[in-house]
Amino acid sequence: MNALSATIRNFRRAARLLGLDSKLEESLLIPFREIKVECTIPKDDGTLASFVGFRVQHDNARGPMKGGIRYHPEVDGNLLLPCYFHHLHITEMTNSEELQVDPDEVNALAQLMTWKTAVANIPFGGAKGGIGCNPSELSKSEIERLTRVFTQKIHDLIGVHIDVPAPDMGTNPQTMAWILDEYSKFHSYSPGIVTGKPIDLGGSLGRDAATGRGVLFATEALLNDHGKSVSGLRFVIQGFGNVGSWTAKLISENGGKVVAVSDITGAIKNSNGIDIPALLKHVEETQGVKGFQGADAIDANSILVEDCDVLIPAALGGVINRENANEIKAKYIIEAANHPTDPDADEILSKKGVVILPDIYANSGGVTVSYFEWVQNVQGFMWDEDKVNRELKTYMTNGYKAMKEMCKTHNCELRMGAFTLGVSRVARATILRGWEA
């Protein structure tokens, strides 16, 4: 089951539990707007090249739409077909972590942002978009020109109080800086138009660590609820990019024992606990965990079934499935990645008594601190990093409590508790604004 199908399935289950009117249910699924533009730029050699830019704006009932912009190859021309009438597949490229940009996946991620921002209780809706290109084949100046042309094409459809983009796969703070500058040519200086910006242009302190720190706070909330703490437990982390590495660092600093990690270069294990500061230094020098002397190399395919207390998938989606779910030994799974567990695995793990903290809540630290950045830009008053981290902990802790209340109300597991929480908040806003069909 692909990301879109799983998202719609969870949404419909939540809608049934909430007793939503069928017309309201259907209206909440349909994107507010889907945008597709042609972006033609001169390349460095003087030739012209055209690329497809797109933006799916899913819902704005609770506030401006929010979501990343990704630069990836193979944007499908069928993007503008109704997202729930066709089912393409995410293609994993064998020689990198890049994914083919699947329009179903983009629609699913835009929807997920709507529910995720509602679960986090921040006043945003959901969006997603990007440009069909391979950044590795473009020079920095070509990427800048492409970003500026894309911004010119959509500047009247995004805005500080309309739709606020952020970095995603293939984009970074510099990309956001170019969008900010180009947008400001049309609308005056507007630092709140994007988040994930460089600090010097109004970016927020603490943003780089935000998703990983949010994963820590979410994990703490779950474990506290079960009478446990991070200290002394054994953790396995799949993925050692921004989210995985920050999660490992923060768990280690809080007394947790990280016994195995993996990334695209390989996987390593040390049953006595990996020296995370040393591993971080190794990864900085070699661009991967492979070859780290403080742990033994293991088969990367076995990382998810290593013996541990807490498993944290922080890489690709769909990695926990019916083929490996029965072999998983962890008692808790914290979904730092988007959609790492498919519905079949969900059912198997639930029967085994494994507690899954869903992505829609667990990895919301990034968008929450993006909200803090937007607030700082709108107010024109910047926060120190301690305030950012304190506020993030408050939001993550309150989010867990609200999710648990929904679990009790509807007698459901955490994933459905999160979906009923998010969908109910969006549905209430939609009704209050008089938008229901």
Query: Which residue is catalytic, options 128, 249, 257, 269?
Result: 128
If one counts every other C-beta atom within 10 angstroms of the C-beta of residue 16, the result is 12
From CA 244, how far away is CA 237, in angstroms rounded? Answer: 7
Give every CB contact of residue 253 below 8 A, 6+ residues apart in sequence. none
Amino acid at 369: V
From CA 245, how far away is CA 269, in angstroms rounded? Answer: 15
> CA dist 326 to 95, 337, 346, Å?
28, 20, 11
From CA 304, how far away is CA 298, in angstroms rounded? Answer: 12
> 125-132 and 266-269 as β-strands: parallel, antiparallel, unpaired?
unpaired
Question: Closest by alpha carbon to 320, among 284, 361, 348, 297?
Answer: 348
> CA dist 118 to 89, 105, 360, Å?
27, 20, 10
128 belongs to the catalytic site = yes
Residue 51 and residue 146 in contact, taking contact as beta carbons nearer than 8 Å: yes
Question: Closest by alpha carbon to 358, among 328, 303, 325, 399?
Answer: 399
Q: How many Cα neighbours within 13 Å face the side chain of 401?
A: 7
| Residues in the annotated binding site | 66, 116, 211, 242, 370
| Residues in the annotated binding site for NAD(+) | 211, 242
How remote is the C-alpha of 5 from its chain's centroid?
Answer: 17
From CA 362, how far away is CA 211, in angstroms rounded? Answer: 9
Neighbour order of strands in the sheet with 310-313:
296-298, 266-269, 257-263, 234-238, 310-313, 332-334, 355-357
| Residues in the annotated binding site for substrate | 66, 116, 370
- Which are the catalytic amino acids? 128
